Amino acid sequence: MDKNFDVIVIGGGPAGYVCAIRSAQLGFKTACIESRGTLGGTCLNVGCIPSKSLLNLSENYHKVQNEFNNLGIESSNVKLNLSKMMSNKNKSVLTLTKGVEYLFKKNKITYLKGKGSILSKNSVSVLDESKNKTNYKTKNVVISTGSIPSSLPGIKIDENNIVSSTGALSFNKVPKELIIIGGGYIGLEMGSVWKRLGSKVTVIEFLDHIIPGMDKDISNEFLKILIKQGINFKLNSKVTNVKVVKDKAIIDFTNNKSSKRERIECDKVLVAVGRKSNIGEDIVKLGIKLEKGKIKVNKKFETSIKGIYAVGDCIQLGPMLAHKAEDEGIAVAEIIAGQAGHVNYEVIPAVIYTSPEVAAVGKTEQELQKESIKYKIGKFPFLANSRAKVNNETEGFVKIIADDKTDKVLGVHIIGSHAGTMIAEMALAMEFGASSEDIARTCHAHPTHTEAVKEAALAVDKRPIHF
Ligand code: NAI
């Protein structure tokens, strides 16, 4: 095999595999190194994709058990077959990872299986499963080594009693009691799954609110809805110790305000307190500059060493989200090709796939207040949306924030069914620099949930029709 490449990408997750495909499209001789054994990274293997499978199935299970009887679809003897549910999830993951492998073949990308290490800006080694090392030459290196779960001091994730999201995606029986440390994306998605399947779920969150970074209106509404669904919350609480005694986990935590100490015993603890960049020894050895533990890149995604680029969760730019990583993968390939690859960090949608879903793009009210930007708000509840009403999906609202003077849309925040799909229209509107008036004057199909977006835009100018 020829060992000379134009682009070698290290890591086959959403940043890396997409970068490899775009590089190949641009005519570069491309290789992608991946050590996991399957392509797709955390997202496809142990993240977005398997969690969405379990979220979808557990929601259906919950609806059949708790909602359908009231709506004229009577069922009895509904049973959970967890192992079948897990097999279905694993099958979806396998199909999608194989799909990426097929795309590599289609684009004539060399898939190098093993652990990649950068030796210099033009050479990379790959250590395969049989411990054979092979060196390759390349004109450009792209690091896309992703991220790994963070833990708390003194807490060791064993993926048995104390698990990360990886363990929580593969329990072989429904935990009687599940404690989740961290009320962020992972904690609330996995908490929803196991609550619906029958666990008693308690979320311990350090701050006085959940999903930090999201608009406070949304965060408050979301908390109310989750409490109504039966998830318990211990906010303002700092976990001080977790230990395992005879297959039970014991968690000690202290209330930040009252200093009151509490202890809970449970079967499983999910530690979901964020993720950290996956920085290999080679990166440290080469002296590539870091910023707060992440690889520091410039606007062209170039690290402190010319010719070595980095994209995705491992860099300091933007949130740790698969779609941000994919866009960076495309941008860096185009930059290497001399084109104007670009990612607009002002317009990166974020979605939490709970029920209802939560989705946001652009600025929150709190961010605008900090930046002293004057704004106006339009809000519309799904309770007043006809399609949501007939579907019994009346929880939540759409909130559009527009510049006080220019009316330019600065942020959109949605909590409600299909929020994750609806946010795409808002991202597009913001990319085109839309005003709330532009959205309000765009004809939206009736009856759809998206009419709530149009109504929220009308509400910015205090003229909603249905509320
Ligand atoms: P996160 O940053 O979303 O949430 C972590 C939570 O833990 C925060 O609320 C934080 O205040 C809390 N916390 C931190 N230290 C704590 C402590 N000592 N005690 C109690 N609470 C503590 O991180 P998460 O949920 O682990 O997700 C990791 C990454 O994966 C995020 O960057 C997220 O964007 C991404 N992700 C995205 C998903 C999506 O797009 N739907 C789904 C899952 C993950």
> DSSP code of 1?
-
CB proximity list for 247: less than 8 A, separation 6 or greater: 161, 267
Distance 450 CA to ligand 1 centre (A): 29
Q: What is the mean pLDDT of residues 115-135?
A: 97
Q: Is the pLDDT of residue 1 over 90?
A: no
Name the average pLDDT for the chain: 97
- Token readout for 112 is 């190098």
What pLDDT is stored for residue 311 in this prediction?
Answer: 98
If 0-12 CB within 10 Å is exposed, 13-18 middle and 19+ buried, where does residue 340 land? exposed
Q: Give the tens place of pLDDT for each residue, 221-249.
A: 999 999 999 999 999 999 999 999 999 99
Going by pLDDT thresholds of 50, 70 and 90, the confidence category of residue 362 is very high
CA 302, chain centre distance (Å): 24
* pLDDT for res 348: 98
2 pLDDT above the threshold of 90: no
- Give distance in angstroms: CA of 210 to centre of ligand 1: 10
Provide the residue type at 368 as one letter: L
- Sign of the torsion angle spanned by Cα atoms 369, 371, 373, 376: negative
Strands 290-291 and 294-295: antiparallel
Nearest alpha carbon, ligand 1 atom 41: 352
3-state helix vs strand vs coil in the chain, percent to 5: 35, 25, 40
pLDDT in tens, 413-429: 999 999 999 999 999 99
Check residue 66 and give its pLDDT. 93
The number of residues in the chain equals: 467
| Strands 177-181 vs 200-204: parallel, antiparallel or unpaired | parallel
Say which residues have a Cβ less than 8 Å from residue 126's Cβ, sequence separation at least 6: 33, 112, 113, 114, 115, 116, 117, 133, 134, 136
Query: Which residue is associated with the tokens 């962020």?
Result: 184
pLDDT at 369 > cutoff 90: yes
Place of tokens 């993968």: 329
Residue type, 438: D
For 42-68, b/e burial (b = at least 16 CB within 10 A) is: bbbbbbbbbbebbbbbbbebbeeeeee
**Does ligand 1 come within 6 angstroms of the Cβ of 319?**
yes
DSSP 3-state assignment of 298? coil
pTM above 0.95, yes or no: yes
Q: Express each pLDDT in 41-82 by its tens digit.
A: 999 999 999 999 999 999 999 999 999 999 999 999 999 999
**CB 230 less than 6 A from any atom of ligand 1:** no
Tell me the CA–centroid distance for residue 212 and ligand 1, in Å: 9
| Residue for token pair 């002002």 | 346
Q: Is 446 a catalytic residue?
A: yes
Closest ligand 1 atom to 253 CA: 19
pLDDT 10s digits, 272-294 = 999 999 999 999 999 999 999 99
The pLDDT of residue 137 is above 90: yes
Nearest CA to ligand 1 atom 43: 186
Alpha-carbon distance of 25 to 334, in angstroms, equals 10
Q: Cα of 355 to ligand 1 centre, how many Å?
A: 18
Burial pattern 297-333, b for ≥16 Cβ within 10 A else e, equals beeebbbebeebbbbbbbbebbebbbbbbbbbbbbbb
181 lines ligand 1 (CB under 6 A): yes
Is the model's pLDDT at 300 over the cut of 90?
yes
Check if 238 has its Cβ closer than 6 Å to any atom of ligand 1: yes
Kindly report, residue by residue over 184-205, the tens digit of the pLDDT.
999 999 999 999 999 999 999 9
379-384-385-386 Cα dihedral, nearest 10 degrees: -170
Contact partners, residue 398, CB within 8 Å, separation at least 6:
379, 380, 382, 412, 413, 414, 416, 422, 452, 453, 455, 456
Query: Per the residue annotation, which of 62, 209, 446, 449 is the catalytic one?
Result: 446
Report the phi/psi class of residue 41: left, alpha or beta, with left for phi > 0 and alpha for psi in -120 to 50.
left
Centroid of ligand 1 to alpha carbon of 59 (angstroms) = 22
Which one of 275, 354, 357 would you pick to mutate in the ligand 1 pocket, going by the greatest count of ligand atoms within 8 A of its CB?
275
